[in-house]
Amino acid sequence: MDKPVSYLQKHGGITKGRVERFLTNGQWEKVNLNASLYEAQVSGKPNIELEAWSAPEQERPTFEHAVKQSFAPIETGHTFGPSWSSHWVRATLQVPVEFEGKEVRFHFDPSCEALVWSAEGEPLQGITGGGGNTKHIDFILTSKADAAEPKRVLYLEVACNGMFGNGEGSLIKPPQENRKFALAKAELVVLNAEAWSLRHDFEVILAMAKHLPQNSARAWQALATANEIVNIYKVGDQKSISDAHAVSAKFLAAKGGDANHQVYAIGNCHIDTAWLWPYDETKRKIARSWATQIDYMERYPEYLFAASQAQQFEWLQTLYPSLFKRVQEKAKTGQFIPIGGTWIEMDCNIPSGESLARQFLLGQRYFEANFGQRSKVFWLPDTFGYSSQLPQIVQRSGAKYFFTQKLSWNNINKFPHTTFNWIGLDGSSVLTHMAPANTYT
């Protein structure tokens, strides 16, 4: 396919630009798929009543302490701040009668991070507000609303920092100490399920068109399919969504042959124990992240998730004991996979052999005591280099495998292998895998 054989191929760049706008916000959102993503939306009273209490200074109070405080009414547009402060929101929610029989979600966007708590004090799910593709602001309130739905109360622990701390303009810039975050959204919604399914299909098809080898037949087929979907869709016409969804389903159902690979995906939150935020915020990030994963496991029994660093498990055990018990329960079913074998994901260039040995000693001891077994995988995706003592230490700790990738970021020397046996100073060997994608989560 060296020469273009159609108008689509001759002007591929123009077509890609067109189909990308099918999902964008801004000037196109009232005429593209975004205009059809919701069947219904309500905000404000009487359906949503919001009250807030702000913790003093940079205190991070417990749920039991926070809910006893005096809350004052707030509305969307309310500002939380400054950086690193904590604010508790009490949301009293009344599902409209017309939502009967529907799955209802609560959208809460504080433009920063938050943790959803039940009225009884159970951490339920993390929230990531603001812009970008990391945004996650929806909480499933009920999978099927009743005709006489009772009022529900949720608490939201708002943390005044973004996913990557409080630097502005660049991840590695110093934090802005007086950042403010506006409550951008608080509403109850009913999704247009087929429109969302089409959106997810379209995201995959568009990625194939952009990232597969550009002269491959499959890349051109993906672009043609995306273009056809855009042609079919009409705002306000549910049948056009169904017709477009049929086109995407047909494309994604195609198989390359009997020798196709089976690809498995396992979730992971790469949480730096110390990076762009205080240690106390690391502890809350763990709860926000892992509560979300437990929720996924409840709704999708086939979902698997791996997490490393015994220190993070111990923090969860101390500060969020009920959530830690749920993690233990999911570990027994094989859905939540403690991994790594070390106390934290450590540097491996400066520490001594004794320090590295103690990482495994304390880490494996913790996993064995709390999850009944040692980790078989030494998991270290984010360290720039590795001591040649490690294969021996890994093997002696009871682990058999090593997963990493950070060497791929070297801008001078390209590491030549992906799966190989790494042999250490004493001849010990550990089967090692470096992700060929050259990145991690």
Q: How many CA atoms lie within 13 A of 406 on its CB side?
A: 13
Considering the candidates 272, 280, 347, 382, report the single residue annotated as catalytic: 382
| Predicted pLDDT at 6 | 64
Tokens of 240: 């056009």
In this prediction, residues 53-81 reach a mean pLDDT of 98
In this prediction, residues 104-124 reach a mean pLDDT of 98
Q: What is the per-residue DSSP string for 219-264?
A: HHHHHHHHHHHHHH--TT-HHHHHHHHHHHHHHHH----TTPPP--
| Predicted pLDDT at 1 | 45
From the list 260, 253, 257, 231, the residue with the least C-alpha distance to 244 is 231
Tokens of 393: 């230490």
pTM (2 d.p.): 0.93
**Is a pLDDT exceeding 80 seen at residue 258?**
no
From the list 282, 215, 213, 221, the residue with the least C-alpha distance to 253 is 221
| Predicted pLDDT at 262 | 84
Strand partners, 432: 402, 420
**Is a pLDDT exceeding 80 seen at residue 441?**
no
Contact 428, 391 (CB under 8 A): yes
From the list 157, 177, 159, 155, the residue with the least C-alpha distance to 168 is 177
Per residue in 372-396, is it b (16+ CB within 10 Å) or e — as a string? eebbebbbbbbeeebbebbbbbbbe
Q: Please give the DSSP secondary-structure letter assigned to residue 35.
A: G
Query: Residue 115: which region, alpha, beta or left (left: phi > 0; alpha: psi -120 to 50)?
Result: beta
Contact 440, 382 (CB under 8 A): yes
pLDDT digits (tens, 9 = 90+) for 300-327: 999 999 999 999 999 999 999 999 999 9
Phi, then psi, of 135 in degrees rounded to 5: -65, 130
Per residue in 1-36, is it b (16+ CB within 10 Å) or e — as a string? eeeeeeeebeebeebbeebeebeeeeeeeeebbbeb
Q: How far apart are CA 150 and CA 144, in angstroms?
A: 13
pLDDT digits (tens, 9 = 90+) for 342-363: 999 999 999 999 999 999 999 9
Contact 440, 414 (CB under 8 A): no
pLDDT digits (tens, 9 = 90+) for 10-60: 778 899 999 999 999 889 999 999 999 999 999 999 999 999 999 999 999
At a CB cut-off of 8 Å and minimum separation 6, what does 107 contact? 137, 138, 139, 185, 186, 187, 188, 189
Pick the residue with more confidence: 261 or 188?
188
pLDDT digits (tens, 9 = 90+) for 273-304: 999 999 999 999 999 999 999 999 999 999 99
**Is a pLDDT exceeding 70 seen at residue 148?**
yes
**Is a pLDDT exceeding 90 seen at residue 168?**
no
| Predicted pLDDT at 7 | 64
**Is a pLDDT exceeding 90 seen at residue 4?**
no
- Other beta carbons within 10 angstroms of residue 91's beta carbon come to 20
382 is catalytic: yes
At a CB cut-off of 8 Å and minimum separation 6, what does 384 contact? 349, 406, 407, 409
Q: What is the mean pLDDT of the chain?
A: 94
